[in-house]
């Protein structure tokens, strides 16, 4: 076994560490980029990937798991195989066109273990995900109502609703419930629901059909499309002349649909023409539509509110106009009162009807939101004014005082605040918009003849690309789809996806990522993953899911929102009652009452001000807006953070466990020295090593470590011992070579440290973050490498399951059974949240066990899926970026909560008149409304400042360069 390893190391530059082998110059592995079995790249068909999970009984140690894994991987068409000895399971990813699950099962049993198929993971119909845009939510009370309603539906496995994005993400069993039912239920509780995507719509396209629309040809078109292999669902909207098609991208595509539609209408019914449905009905368009609605409502409210304000606050001080406005119409009712009544009515009931609608929907389901406060406050001002004016109209002595300006201006300023808030919230997801804009609008499709020569080029909409299409990429153009190069050589700038600035060389057979930029040379690429299956789309989906996920600290705002509005209403009524009773009982001098009011009207103003200044929205937006901006900024920095939970955990991390091979080191072991102990030609020495475990020229070759030599009965000379000690002190590994039972030489291999590894450890130490190294390598090499990078605590010779157990032990601290091991090994350790940084399959259990798992982006799919944070550039300094960004994000969250809570705790008492007895200062209701609107906008703007996040300045001064290998 050892000789096989060395022969690979010497000839190919490959090596092993921590149970994971890599080549000399591996290409980076990016999320969602497929691996192919031998021969697939040259074929014309892209195989479909499948996954199965087996229960494997009889395994007792990692060696058993290794034998199963190797046996399965030898099969043709295996993409990946992972064997978990702890849980006695084997998960296999494979291509069904090359191998089936029965063959895999028989292969496992041929090794000597019992294998049982648990689940065939290609059938995902037992669990699907849909995303729904929920319009009409104003605060956390609304989002909590929608979320709890969805969770209560039978068949829903998980549901979460984000106020900031106005979206609901529902995981459900489609055999029990359908996504259409979610739409109806959300509408039933008073909100507008618009479907964004469903699990069945991973590949979906909307086509616009022009032609003679009537029942017969439309039904023909639908039947023709449904007859196509791979088409799952066809919906036709006759009003919009839109056809929505859900399909399997492996089997068909949009150009086929267009051909079918246009050929279906070629008879007597007349020709049909089909094209991609114009953009403009997606989530961004709905956001823009909402912005436009608030802007229009605000502008219309100003048309009425400004004259109301002028007649009540300004024109009354101009002598001629004052006389006109004070002119009596009926008894004591004046012209000014009637004008204000007429002008404020459209604002109250038409422009402000959204607040009535929102209040009704909220109260109907036993909750109260911000709309309730606004509706109560404005109605109190409006209807009291109506009562006062009508009483003046029927009285010869009663002089009315109206608050119509309070009603009109309050609604106007709240609409202004909502307009600014929606605009600001739209900017929190700019990172996603920039990612989505990376895909080019058009692509050059190549057509080939039977000899394989390109005979035609056609520019098409990039959304019309189908699997196995060959696309021509010109210099300076963006790559239109994920795929692999079939012809040409060039360099591709992948920084917009991976964050890695250095262009990557591409030649025939190399993978490319959609959205990256071809810098020089013409490339022909075969599309393998299109639409929502592409790496870019999956990164966008990951960031979107991260922005949907609630941070644990959000529970604080959710708890407050349950009783916030009812308490405010109670406090508002108490304020009005206290001032009113105090006025009637002479509790304060009559001189305190303004000349235009009485005690009832003064008390009413205080009560209304309390009601409208309270803002539950600011509390609800404090966390999600910061998480949205933080995860978006992280994506632009090459750090993918999977949600608020990962952000919250990362900012408290005070201990990081680093894997060695591929994480602290480059993961590319190289032969760095050769020491001969016998006289022989060096070339012959290498030829014999290359043919290890075979008898060459009648010579028996044994290559391995000291344990193997002793096992074979070969004496280790003093010179060899000294060499081994010397190379271990240099953080290198010595491999002994024996020819014909005589120790002949030592081959020294080294896995170089990643650039900046020691600097990163030093910076982490300055951030009060402790570093520990864990590796499957020997103690001598592990201690030497740890000494070079500056790590004091080392765990060596650790199997994959050992890594996970040690991580758990470190997490539990004094409460674990191996307390003696902890105390003796790490006497100075602090037991806070712990992070694990790794890249290999064998790191996955530890990544899952840690509070925060960080996967190096060039690592395996399994490691990336298990991690909470993915470092796409594979640079160690991004560990610092991830921790620093999480700390900055949670600083913003704390500031947001301080502002939201402080605003309410200070604003409500001031609005209630606490300062009035001492300063005669009172807060008019319309100014209280301005303050309420400003609080939400301030919270969102505070979160938006994260957009200007910069990495710690010390990272910019590091001289970190790539590793050159020959």
**Each residue's pLDDT tens digit, 845-892:** 788 888 888 888 765 565 567 788 888 877 888 899 999 999 999 999
Q: Are 296 and 400 in the same domain?
A: yes
pLDDT at 11: 30
Question: Catalytic residue at 792?
Answer: no
Question: What does the pLDDT look like over 448-464, one tens digit per residue?
Answer: 888 878 888 888 888 88
Q: Are 528 and 538 in the same domain?
A: no
Question: Is there a domain that residue 763 lies in?
Answer: no
Question: Is there a domain that residue 23 lies in?
Answer: no
- What number of other Cβ atoms are within 10 A of residue 726's Cβ? 15
Question: Is there a domain that residue 932 lies in?
Answer: yes
Q: Tell me which residue of 471, 474, 460, 454 sits closest to 529, measured CA to CA.
A: 471
User: What residues in the chain have per-residue pLDDT under 50?
Assistant: 1-47, 121-125, 268-269, 280-281, 814-821, 828-830, 960-966
Residue 561 Cα distances to 139, 144, 553, angstroms: 8, 9, 14
Q: Are 546 and 422 in the same domain?
A: no
Q: Are 218 and 253 in the same domain?
A: yes
Question: Is there a domain that residue 725 lies in?
Answer: yes
Q: Are 179 and 249 in the same domain?
A: no
Q: Are 350 and 484 in the same domain?
A: no
Q: Are 945 and 869 in the same domain?
A: yes
Question: Is there a domain that residue 631 lies in?
Answer: yes
Question: Is there a domain that residue 830 lies in?
Answer: no
Q: What is the domain range of residue 413? A: 283-439
Domain containing residue 95: CATH number: 3.30.70.100
Q: Tell me which residue of 668, 22, 531 sits closest to 247, measured CA to CA.
A: 531
pLDDT at 787: 86
- Given CA atoms 353, 359, 362, 363 in this order, what sign does their dihedral have? negative
User: For residue 42, with 0-12 CB atoms within 10 Å meaning exposed, 13-18 middle and 19 or more buried, which class applies?
Assistant: exposed
Residue 460 token pair: 């098409």
How many domains in the chain? 7
Q: Are 392 and 481 in the same domain?
A: no
Question: Is there a domain that residue 2 lies in?
Answer: no
pLDDT at 40: 36
Which entry of 18, 659, 843, 884 is annotated as an active-site residue? 659
Q: Are β-strands 470-473 and 20-22 bridged in parallel, bridged antiparallel, or unpaired?
A: unpaired
Q: Are 551 and 697 in the same domain?
A: no
Last residue of a domain, one of 83, 99, 118: 118
Q: Tell me which residue of 433, 814, 885 sits closest to 651, measured CA to CA.
A: 885
Question: Is there a domain that residue 768 lies in?
Answer: no
Q: Decide if 83 contacts 54 (C-beta within 8 A).
A: no
Q: Tell me which residue of 157, 149, 158, 135 sits closest to 182, measured CA to CA.
A: 149
Strand partners, 640: 870
- E strands, 751-825, where? 770-774, 793-795
Q: Decide if 636 contacts 440 (C-beta within 8 A).
A: no
Domain containing residue 688: CATH number: 3.40.1110.10
Q: Are 573 and 597 in the same domain?
A: yes
pLDDT at 575: 92
Q: Are 524 and 539 in the same domain?
A: no
Last residue of a domain, one of 198, 224, 256: 198
Last residue of a domain, one of 98, 118, 138: 118
Q: Are 423 and 462 in the same domain?
A: no
């Amino acid at each position: 076994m050892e000789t096989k390893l060395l022969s690979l190391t010497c000839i190919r530059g490959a090596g092993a560490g921590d149970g994971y082998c890599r080549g000399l110059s591996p290409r980076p592995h990016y999320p969602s980029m497929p691996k192919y079995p031998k021969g697939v790249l040259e074929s014309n068909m892209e195989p479909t990937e499948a996954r199965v999970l087996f229960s494997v009984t009889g395994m007792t140690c990692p060696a058993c798991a290794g034998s199963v894994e190797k046996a399965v991987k030898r099969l043709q068409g295996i993409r990946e195989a992972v064997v978990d000895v702890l849980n006695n399971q084997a998960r296999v990813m494979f291509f069904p066109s090359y191998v089936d699950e029965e063959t895999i099962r028989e292969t496992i049993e041929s090794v000597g273990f019992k294998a049982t198929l648990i689940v065939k993971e290609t059938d995902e119909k037992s669990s699907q995900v849909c995303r729904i845009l929920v319009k009409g939510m104003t605060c956390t009370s609304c989002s909590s109502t929608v979320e709890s309603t969805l969770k209560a539906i039978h068949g829903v496995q998980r549901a979460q609703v984000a106020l900031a994005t106005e979206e609901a993400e529902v995981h459900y069993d489609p055999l029990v419930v359908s996504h259409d039912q979610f739409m109806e239920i959300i509408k039933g509780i008073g909100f507008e629901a618009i479907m964004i995507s469903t699990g069945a719509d991973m590949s979906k396209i909307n086509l616009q059909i022009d032609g003679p629309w009537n029942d017969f040809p439309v039904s023909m078109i639908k039947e023709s499309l449904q007859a196509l292999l791979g088409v799952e669902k066809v919906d036709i909207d006759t009003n919009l002349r839109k056809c929505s098609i859900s399909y399997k991208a492996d089997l068909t595509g949009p150009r086929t649909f267009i051909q079918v539609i246009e050929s279906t209408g070629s008879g007597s019914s007349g020709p049909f023409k089909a094209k991609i449905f114009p953009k403009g009905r997606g989530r961004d368009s709905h956001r823009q539509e909402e912005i436009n609605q608030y802007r229009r409502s605000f502008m219309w409210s100003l048309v009425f509110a400004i004259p109301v304000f002028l007649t009540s606050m300004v024109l009354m001080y101009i002598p001629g106009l004052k006389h006109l406005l004070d002119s009596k119409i009926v008894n004591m009712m004046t012209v000014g009162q009637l004008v204000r009544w007429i002008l404020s009515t459209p604002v109250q009931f038409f422009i402000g009807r959204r607040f009535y609608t929102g209040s009704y929907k909220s109260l109907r389901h036993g909750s109260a939101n911000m709309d309730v406060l606004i509706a109560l406050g404005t109605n109190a001002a409006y209807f009291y004014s109506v009562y006062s004016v009508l009483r003046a109209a029927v009285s010869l002595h009663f002089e009315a005082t109206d608050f119509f300006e309070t009603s009109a201006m309050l609604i106007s300023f709240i609409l202004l605040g909502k307009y600014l808030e929606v605009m600001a919230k739209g900017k929190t997801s700019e990172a996603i918009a920039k990612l989505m804009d990376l895909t080019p609008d058009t692509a050059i499709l190549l057509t080939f003849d039977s000899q394989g020569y390109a005979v035609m080029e056609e520019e098409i909409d990039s959304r019309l690309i189908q699997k196995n299409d060959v696309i021509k990429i010109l210099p300076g153009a963006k790559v239109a789809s994920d795929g692999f190069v079939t012809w040409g050589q060039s360099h591709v700038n992948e920084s917009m996806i991976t964050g890695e600035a250095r262009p990557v060389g591409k030649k025939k057979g190399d993978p490319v990522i959609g959205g990256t930029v071809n810098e020089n040379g013409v490339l022909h690429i075969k599309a393998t993953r299109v639409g929502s299956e592409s790496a870019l789309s999956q990164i966008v989906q990951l960031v979107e899911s991260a922005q949907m996920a609630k941070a644990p600290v959000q529970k604080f705002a959710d708890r407050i929102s349950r009783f916030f509005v009812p308490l405010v209403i109670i406090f508002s009524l108490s304020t009005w009652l206290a001032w009113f009773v105090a006025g009637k009982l002479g509790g304060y001098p009559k001189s305190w009452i303004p000349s235009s009011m009485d005690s009832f009207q003064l008390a009413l103003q205080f009560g209304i001000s309390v009601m409208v200044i309270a803002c539950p929205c600011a509390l609800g937006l404090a966390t999600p807006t910061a998480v949205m901006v933080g995860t978006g900024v992280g994506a632009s920095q090459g750090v993918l953070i999977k949600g608020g939970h990962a952000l919250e955990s990362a900012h408290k991390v005070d201990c990081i466990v680093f894997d060695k091979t591929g994480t602290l080191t480059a993961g590319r072991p190289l032969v760095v020295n050769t020491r001969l102990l016998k006289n022989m030609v060096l070339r012959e020495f290498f030829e014999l090593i290359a043919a290890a475990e075979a008898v060459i020229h009648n010579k028996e070759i044994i290559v391995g470590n000291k344990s193997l030599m002793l096992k074979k009965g070969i004496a280790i000379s003093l010179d060899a011992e000294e060499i081994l000690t010397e190379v271990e002190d240099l953080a290198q590994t010595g491999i002994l070579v024996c020819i014909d039972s005589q120790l002949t030489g030592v081959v020294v291999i080294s896995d170089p440290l990643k650039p900046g590894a020691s600097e990163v450890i030093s910076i982490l130490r300055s951030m009060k973050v402790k570093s520990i190294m864990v590796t499957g390598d020997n103690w001598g090499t592990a201690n030497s490498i740890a000494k070079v990078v500056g790590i004091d605590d080392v765990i060596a010779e650790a199997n994959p399951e050992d890594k996970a157990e040690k991580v758990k032990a470190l997490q539990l601290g004094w409460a674990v059974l191996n307390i003696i091991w902890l105390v003796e090994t790490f006497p100075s350790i602090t037991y806070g949240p712990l992070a694990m940084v790794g890249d290999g399959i064998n790191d996955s259990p530890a990544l899952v066990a840690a509070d925060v798992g960080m996967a190096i982006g060039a690592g395996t799919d399994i490691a990336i899926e298990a991690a909470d944070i993915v470092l796409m550039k594979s640079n160690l300094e991004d560990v610092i970026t991830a921790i620093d960004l999480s700390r900055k994000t949670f600083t913003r969250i704390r500031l947001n909560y301080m502002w939201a809570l402080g605003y309410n705790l200070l604003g409500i008492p001031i609005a209630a008149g606490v300062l009035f007895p001492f300063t005669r200062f009172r807060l008019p209701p319309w100014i209280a409304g301005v303050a309420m609107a400003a609080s939400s906008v301030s919270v969102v703007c505070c979160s938006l400042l994260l957009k200007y996040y910069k990495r710690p300045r010390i990272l910019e001064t590091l001289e970190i360069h790539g590793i050159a290998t020959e």
